[in-house]
Amino acid sequence: MATADVTTLADALRSGDATTRIVRGHDAELDALVDGLRADADEEARAKYAQLDEDLSVTLADHRLVKDEWEVAQLQLAVDATVRGFGDVVKALPQAKDTSERFVEGTFFLRARVEGNDVGYGTIAASGANATTLHWTRNDGPVREGDLLLLDAGVETTTLYTADVTRTMPVSGTFTDVQRRVYDLVYAAQEAGIAAVAPGRPFVAFHEASQRVLAEGLVEWGLLEGPVDRVLELGLQRRYTLHGTGHMLGMDVHDCAVSRQEVHLYGDLKPGMVLTVEPGLYFQPDDLTVPEELRGIGVRIEDDVLVTEEGRTVMSAGLPRSSDEVEAWLAERLPR
Ligand code: GLY
Ligand code: MN
Ligand code: MN
């Protein structure tokens, strides 16, 4: 397929006609240029052109599902810089305790700007009960000694590929028993999810595997009434899991979201696809359906996984995942 430098696009569009197709919503100037080309079209024709634009977006998203070698390398650069950014945050935790979640966000942002273009999405730096708010991006709360800190952050490369990684860590360096219990269940769910990522497996398999482990744990703890199959059929676990288990990753953090369902959500995994596996459990501070000791605890573990010919590679394996590994990682890095 012939391509050209993106800086020549506006000029090329000026010499186009009403049938020129464009992916909308990325550049207001280009959108306006194409609207100008269609200014004389009647309503019916305009609706047809809008549909052609929509079809182009979907087709491009379909093509972006499988990453080539260069794209995988860009994503690995993004992930590696992100791993270093998480290390920076751990070293800065004492200053975060003296200030707020802002210090966590700012510390990661420095790494993103120095090694990449930017962060790929608004950093979530959520300490204590703030971790139970799904997209906590205010990042203005306190970071307390006994809290879990949930950090969801990704460096975006200068080529605009982004990582999307979450770690949940005890600010003190050590999980309490109840924090560890929640963490270990999320970890088991993530292990099951990652194991279900393989070429030829349905895209939804990793989600289903993770959700089953979470549902089993919630039934075992007495928070949900079994049997587990009924819980899953009705989606009862979602009160505490809040979100899906992952999504495609690439130039957009939720990459290829508009691609056709039959090749994405209802399709099979192929080598070269990159996705996140990110189960979580969130117990709201005012949720009277759970024992008091669980209220205000939010845990998510999110890794970026490449589908390979043989199975999978966890691209973010440079960060610890199990509770013991997280504690060892903190012990090494937390200033004494
Ligand atoms: N950081 C957004 C997400 O995990 O999907
Ligand atoms: Mn994600
Ligand atoms: Mn994330």
Asked if residue 121 has its Cβ within 6 Å of ligand 1, the reply is yes
Atom of ligand 1 nearest to the CA of 153: 1
CB within 8 Å of 286: residues ≥ 6 apart: 295
Asked if residue 278 has its Cβ within 6 Å of ligand 1, the reply is yes
Please, are residues 152 and 124 in contact by the beta-carbon 8 Å criterion? yes
Asked if residue 152 has its Cβ within 6 Å of ligand 1, the reply is yes
Beta strands 148-153 and 274-277, pairing class: unpaired
Atom of ligand 1 nearest to the CA of 300: 4
pLDDT category, 2, cuts 50, 70, 90? Answer: confident
Helices and strands (DSSP H and E) totals, the chain: 11, 10
Please, are residues 87 and 151 in contact by the beta-carbon 8 Å criterion? no
In the chain, domain spans: 6-64, 69-333
Residues at Cβ < 5 Å from ligand 3 ion: 152, 164, 302
* pLDDT tens figures, 24-83: 998 999 999 999 999 999 999 999 999 999 999 999 999 999 999 999 999 999 999 999
pLDDT category, 167, cuts 50, 70, 90? Answer: very high
Chain centroid offset of residue 148 CA = 19
- Amino acid 199 reads P
Nearest to 25, CA basis, from 62, 67, 54 = 54
pTM of the predicted structure, to 2 decimals: 0.95
The pLDDT, as a whole number, for residue 223 is 98
Asked if residue 164 has its Cβ within 6 Å of ligand 1, the reply is yes
Q: Hey, what are 72's tokens?
A: 């995988």
Ligand at shortest distance from the CA of 304: 2
Burial 106-121 (b: 16+ CB within 10 A, else e): bbbbebbeebbbebbb
Class of domain 69-333: alpha beta
The C-alpha torsion from 103 through 106 and 111 to 112, rounded to 10°, is 150
Separation of first and last alpha carbons in the chain: 57
* pLDDT tens figures, 83-117: 999 999 999 999 999 899 999 999 999 999 999 99
Q: Hey, what are 122's tokens?
A: 């608004």
